[in-house]
Chains A and B, each alone.
Chain A
Amino acid sequence: GDSVTQMEGPVTLSEEAFLTINCTYTATGYPSLFWYVQYPGEGLQLLLKATKADDKGSNKGFEATYRKETTSFHLEKGSVQVSDSAVYFCALNGGSYIPTFGRGTSLIVHP
């Protein structure tokens, strides 16, 4: 079945540091890939997505590129802010139509 593996957290960074959160997936066919963000006490919300190989999704300074050859969709940001502190989920929509999520990675950014 479909699955998503992402790096365990928490990831702790200082403000303005570079962020990478690794994500790899297993799926049949050609899934769409997503990053969601969850702030404390809230539901998940879409951060960015890519629907085909080599597409780059971007939003609010975050980027991720759909790499079919390595089955990866790593999240990056060049300069994080305290307000980026949240839990980040990598996800895919595979052939089953069921959104499948990773375990989530907590990001803590210190001033």
Chain B
Amino acid sequence: DAGVIQSPRHEVTEMGQEVTLRCKPISGHDYLFWYRQTMMRGLELLIYFNNNVPIDDSGMPEDRFSAKMPNASFSTLKIQPSEPRDSAVYFCASSLDPGGGTEAFFGQGTRLTVV
């Protein structure tokens, strides 16, 4: 397996524009997590899915953020409208069985810059 694949690797957009980040998890992993990483706040969990169903979205900062997982091999994180304070690195991670002690596998991240 190629691992968790995220696209794009870098995104620069203007304030007010819509941004869509994409993630392909490892095949067979039932759990998918979206994290945001900043110097100020470290690694924050935004939302996670189990078997394509959103379980906990309490980390989503506000209504401008939304996430979907239409099937087991694809997830999106959308920001509309984007703001400069959304600038960060966004990671997608998948895991087979976190409750059973399996680790999370991370993608390489999307570095988002909103100007």
Whether chain B is bound by chain A comes out as yes
Binding site for B on A (CB under 8 A): 32, 34, 36, 41-46, 49, 51, 89, 91, 93, 95-104
Q: Which of A32, A42, A44, A100 has the most CB of B within 10 A?
A: A44
Q: What 0/1 readout, one digit per residue, does chain B (94-115) give for beta carbons within 8 Å of chain A?
A: 0100110111111111000000
Find chain A residues with CB under 8 A from B91 CB.
Answer: 43-44
CB < 8 Å: which of A43, A46, A101 contacts B108? A43
Are B103 and A97 within 8 A (Cβ)?
A: no
Whether a CB of chain A sits under 8 angstroms from the CB of B42 is yes
Are A101 and B43 within 8 A (Cβ)?
A: yes
Q: What 0/1 readout, one digit per residue, does chain B (14-58) give for beta carbons within 8 Å of chain A?
A: 000000000000000001010000000011010010100000100
Are A104 and B98 within 8 A (Cβ)?
A: no
30 A-B pairs (CB sep. < 8 Å): A32-B101, A34-B103, A36-B103, A42-B108, A43-B93, A43-B108, A43-B109, A44-B91, A44-B104, A46-B103, A46-B104, A46-B105, A93-B98, A93-B99, A95-B99, A96-B56, A97-B31, A97-B50, A97-B98, A98-B48, A98-B56, A98-B98, A99-B93, A99-B98, A101-B42, A101-B43, A103-B42, A103-B43, A104-B42, A104-B43
